[in-house]
Structure 1
């Protein structure tokens, strides 16, 4: 197994070669309307009652390129890491496929590992929090996985997974804190860099456990493309940002943000890439209302299905004045070409109704 220290751009490139037969190269979309909106200053009224109240609104120029991992297999980027981990595991002489694989996940990694395991006829044992959305539970079951329910915190989920390992001998494939997962997730950014005709000034991705963000950082590590992370601020879900600017990884998160895929703390290995190796250039957070507003915009203007977790990067570009001012200062009159990764689209119609029922 690769160690965190040996993960490089080459690791991501090798992962892409290995998983190409199993994944989709997802499309990149653009929107003139969203570019115009992102390149228009927010109103002073919209900044009232925020930390930027009274400040002159920034005026960046942004051209946004959306990497649509909501069109990926199982509806999320997680398929990349799961297929890479399974394919690497199959190469190990110590792996017994009959004992299966196990993981803990709120939904997208659960589905991804179940599909990857089923593709290779390997049993999959999945630990899911009881608060997981019904649609993600149903999708995981559809791939023939065996589900065990647990409490919502990372320690509770990990303890349940350990019990399964003790009884079955299954191999653990964590949702984000694993070199093979990180290298696999980085393939989304690798594709994005090749799909956009002009060099990207930056890519911003959602950050939960940090697998996608750290993989993206590896993919961009030998280019001039900056990398940023985006998180919800609700109930401390912005652990990555708080840790990044305090210099110490936050090890526990208890948040019921609508971005349910981002309720986990940044893992040790992603943290080593994001912070210790300084491969990520900054972290930003947004409110629940800003996530809803970005989600509505994507539905109405791009006509694609995204889940709340997927749009935090777009919300940062539209509403976070610290980020927007930085783009204004660094991009100047030329502005920035910004890659925004839509991480997934696994949201039910019922959940959508709840999200927007009062708006």
Structure 2
């Protein structure tokens, strides 16, 4: 559980005068660091001759755990492109902490209080409660949230490996379903599925995920 890991990190740093603890839950420094990604993406889009406006919007699908990374990225994109940037968070069905927080208008919500176990292969998204910092900002910025089952994570991970030879972690695969969920997009828009990682995923674990995806795809 991510929240417990953060608690332990804070505890260890509290006893070290040379430690400065930064986490996704309540760090403005880290939040603004994530926002820099929008500037880098803008440069990449310009180099490809891709123009973003409300007629040709930028649709971005962002895997969401506690909300820091997708929140910061959304913050940056909205500053650059305004409503022409449409940002969607995606969470596992077993750990939809930000979605629940938004629906209940409560940044102290816990998924376990709603009978949700928080158990998911998307370990980076296995968060029981949302970031208070992010909740205070993102309710005015994001365009939607969708959830995804673990079996779909495996399927998408496998499909991406076979089609693009790209190794990702199950958490990252969550973003790939975005275009199927948001089908009211004007023609000519640009879709970006934000891939959050996979480089450090042990090969044997990746292979297990890949083979499970193959099995589920039939």
The CA distance in 2 between the partners of 1:255 and 1:311, in whole Å, is 18
Who is 1:263 aligned against? 126
In the alignment, the residues of structure 1 paired with residue 211 and residue 166 of structure 2 have an alpha-carbon distance, to the nearest angstrom, of 19
Question: Equivalents in 1 of 2:14, 2:26: separation in Å?
Answer: 20
Query: What pairs with 1:1-359 in structure 2 (closer than 5 Å)?
Result: 152=1, 154=3, 156-169=4-17, 170-196=19-45, 197-199=50-52, 200-222=57-79, 223=81, 224-233=84-93, 235=94, 237-249=95-107, 251-253=109-111, 254-264=117-127, 265-275=129-139, 278-318=140-180, 320=181, 323-324=182-183, 326-327=184-185, 331=186, 334-345=187-198, 346-358=200-212, 359=215
Contact 1:242 1:250 in 2 (8 A): no
Q: Partner of 1:220: helix, strand, or coil? A: helix
Residues 213 and 274 in structure 1, CA contact (< 8 A), matched pair in contact too: no
1:176 is displaced (CA, Å) by: 4.3
Shift of residue 250, structure 1, vs aligned partner:
5.3
Q: Which runs of 5+ in 1 are unaligned?
A: 1-151
Kindly state the Cα deviation for residue 344 of structure 1 after the two structures are TM-superposed.
Answer: 0.9
Shift of 1:296: 1.1
Partner of 2:114: none
Q: CA deviation at 1:310?
A: 0.9
Larger displacement relative to structure 2 (281-290 or 167-176): 167-176
What's the offset of the Cα at 1:160?
2.7
Name which one, 1 or 2, has greater alpha-carbon Rg: 1
Shift of 1:352: 2.0
SS at match of 2:91: strand
State the shift of 1:217 in Å: 1.7
Q: Match of 1:133?
A: none
Q: Deviations over 1:175-195 (max 9, x none)?
A: 342111011112223222331
1:158 Cα deviation after fit: 4.2
TM score, norm. by length of structure 2? 0.79
Deviations 1:273-318 (A, max 9, x none): 211xx01111111111211111112111111111111121112323
TM-score, normalisation: structure 1 = 0.50
Q: How many residues align?
A: 194
